Amino acid sequence: MRGFVRRHTVEDALAIIDTHLHPLAGEFVPLSAANGRVLADDIVSHYDVPGFDRAMMDGYAMRADDTNSAAQENPVSLNVIADAFPGRPFQNSVAAAHAVRIMTGAPLPDGCDAVVPVELVDASNGGSHIKAFAPVSAGKHVGHRGEDVVSGTNVFKRARVLRPQDLGVLSSIGQGQIHVIRKPRVRLVVTGDELLPAGSSPRASSVVDANGPMLAALAERDGAVIHFPGPIPDERDGMLRAMLADADVIIVSGGSSVGIEDHAPSLLLEHGELIVHGIAMRPGAPTGFGRVGERLVFLLPGNPVSCLCAYDFFAGRSIRALGGRPKEWPYRSIVAPLARSITSPIGRLSYARVQVVDGRVEQLAVVGASVLSSTTRADGFVVVPAESGGFAAETDVTVWLYG
């Protein structure tokens, strides 16, 4: 941590960052494009769904009272006067001792209050008459108006992340354009003279960019629109142009520490605000945060595990908040006992990669910040608070699961 003016605690850094986080403005999108989007307003239905009483089975619509005396040995005979189909209802009223043959989903004719299934009547005389062999109660096999949605109901609240079934409900209440929170626009700036673009083959002293694809996938998961043309060299003018891009959030990976090739902090200080630089955490200590104009800028370390850790704690939280999503991690968690102790320096929060084996938590032996494959072997991570010094064996800990 030598070289940093101050080491912010994770909690202090989050509190500072949170003061800059407000959901973006809303925009209208067609229903077909609304899956996974975040509602900008409550949705109130102006319609009953369905808008009419309807048959829930194929059968015969009738008055329940007409079947009161029906029995196997004494069936009730009813005149069949018409047919009713979905979209083609019977338009007239049905009198006593009469019935209408009806299909599932068709509107219940006026005068009827029940449906007798086809298998419970005898229609062997050609269909002009039927015989009912058992009484049916009012409302039997009838779906009632508004049983799905009642007009005036607050169907969905603001900030809901829409799911496929939600789109079906929105369609059923006549919503064709949905008011959603705009997706944050994120410009990824991955720096390093040694970096080759994704898809290249490693060679000589160069390495293939791992942080760019990882960060793009993480930010997309968190609801962002990504602009990432590829890695750029450790060169001030190119980095500054990228940091001034038309975006809501700039994420810089690499060049975030205090070395002679770490240009990002000084550029942010010169052209905007460097609000936080240096976090009491392991890995991820060189993380920074600031602004250039209205853009939020996150400086993430170049070491891949540090980059992942810093994104999870700070940048991802901010992208989710700007897009109207919950700030909290989108990871599932479990609580399980430690197989062996985890130690951590007092004064620094630790991000420990772990596996869950036979219901017990084990820290991975490889803990280097550059060993990204450790996160693919891990089931998740355990956060060790800065003041704790670690956890003893058999302690129940919270594991945040990657998948």
Residue 5 lies in a domain: no
CATH number at residue 237: 3.40.980.10
Residues 39 and 78 in one domain: no
Residues 231 and 118 in one domain: no
Q: How confident is the model at residue 323 (pLDDT cuts 50, 70, 90)?
A: very high
CATH number at residue 346: 2.40.340.10
Residues 206 and 304 in one domain: yes
Residues 40 and 168 in one domain: yes
- The single-letter code of the amino acid at 304 is P
Structure tokens that stand for 86 in this block: 């979905």
Contacts of 82 (CB under 8 A, 6+ apart): 90, 92, 100, 101, 109
Radius of gyration of the chain (CA): 32
Domain boundary among 165, 181, 197: 181
Q: How confident is the model at residue 1 (pLDDT cuts 50, 70, 90)?
A: very low
pLDDT at 4: 66
For residue 142, the tally of other CB atoms under 10 A from its CB is 19
Helix H or strand E encompassing 320? helix 316-322
Q: How confident is the model at residue 157 (pLDDT cuts 50, 70, 90)?
A: very high
- Give me the residue label for tokens 């992340």: 161
- Strands 295-300 and 249-253, by their bridges, are parallel
* DSSP classification of residue 312: I
Q: How confident is the model at residue 127 (pLDDT cuts 50, 70, 90)?
A: confident
Helix H or strand E encompassing 396? strand 396-401
Residue 1 lies in a domain: no
Query: CA 253 → CA 97, 231, 311, 370, distances in Å?
Result: 79, 9, 10, 13
pLDDT tops 70 at residue 5: no
pLDDT tops 90 at residue 256: no
- Give me the residue label for tokens 């130690």: 343
Residues 84 and 17 in one domain: no
- The single-letter code of the amino acid at 359 is G
pLDDT at 3: 57
CATH number at residue 44: 3.90.105.10
Residue 305 lies in a domain: yes
Residue 127, Cβ density class (10 Å: 0-12 exposed, 13-18 middle, ≥19 buried): exposed
Condensed to tens digits (0 to 9), the pLDDT of residues 9-31 reads 999 999 999 999 999 999 999 99
CATH number at residue 118: 2.170.190.11
Residue 187 CA to residue 249 CA, distance in Å, equals 6
Residues 367 and 390 in one domain: yes
**Residues forming beta bridges with residue 203, ordered by sequence position:** 206
**Residues forming beta bridges with residue 390, ordered by sequence position:** 343
Residue 196 lies in a domain: yes
Residue 242 CA to residue 212 CA, distance in Å, equals 14
Residues 206 and 291 in one domain: yes
Structure tokens that stand for 154 in this block: 């607050």
Residue 301, Cβ density class (10 Å: 0-12 exposed, 13-18 middle, ≥19 buried): buried
Residues 155 and 44 in one domain: yes
Structure tokens that stand for 249 in this block: 């959030």
Average pLDDT over residues 155-160: 97
Domain boundary among 163, 181, 199: 181
Write out the E strands in 324-371.
333-337, 342-343, 349-357, 360-363
> For the chain, what is the mean pLDDT?
94
Average pLDDT over residues 141-159: 97
Write out the E strands in 56-184.
59-62, 76-84, 98-102, 114-117, 121-122, 129-132, 142-143, 154-156, 177-181
| Structural domain boundaries, residue 381 | 333-401
Considering its fold, how many domains does the chain have in total?
Answer: 4
* DSSP classification of residue 7: -
pLDDT tops 60 at residue 2: no
> Could you give the 3-state DSSP secondary structure of residue 235?
coil
Query: CA 364 → CA 306, 341, 369, 384, distances in Å?
Result: 16, 12, 13, 14
pLDDT at 218: 98
Inter-residue contact 156 to 43 (CB < 8 Å): yes
Residues 115 and 72 in one domain: yes
Residue 122 lies in a domain: yes
Residues 160 and 299 in one domain: no
Residue 2 lies in a domain: no
Residues 18 and 100 in one domain: no
Residue 138 lies in a domain: yes
Condensed to tens digits (0 to 9), the pLDDT of residues 343-372 reads 999 999 999 999 999 999 999 987 678 889
pLDDT at 263: 87
Residue 59 CA to residue 122 CA, distance in Å, equals 11
> Could you give the 3-state DSSP secondary structure of residue 400?
strand
Residues 299 and 194 in one domain: yes
Condensed to tens digits (0 to 9), the pLDDT of residues 180-237 reads 999 999 999 999 999 999 999 998 889 999 999 999 999 999 999 999 999 999 999 9
Domain boundary among 274, 301, 322: 322
Q: How confident is the model at residue 8 (pLDDT cuts 50, 70, 90)?
A: very high
Longest dimension (CA), the chain: 100
Condensed to tens digits (0 to 9), the pLDDT of residues 38-89 reads 999 999 999 999 999 999 999 999 999 999 999 989 999 999 999 999 999 9
Residue 116 lies in a domain: yes
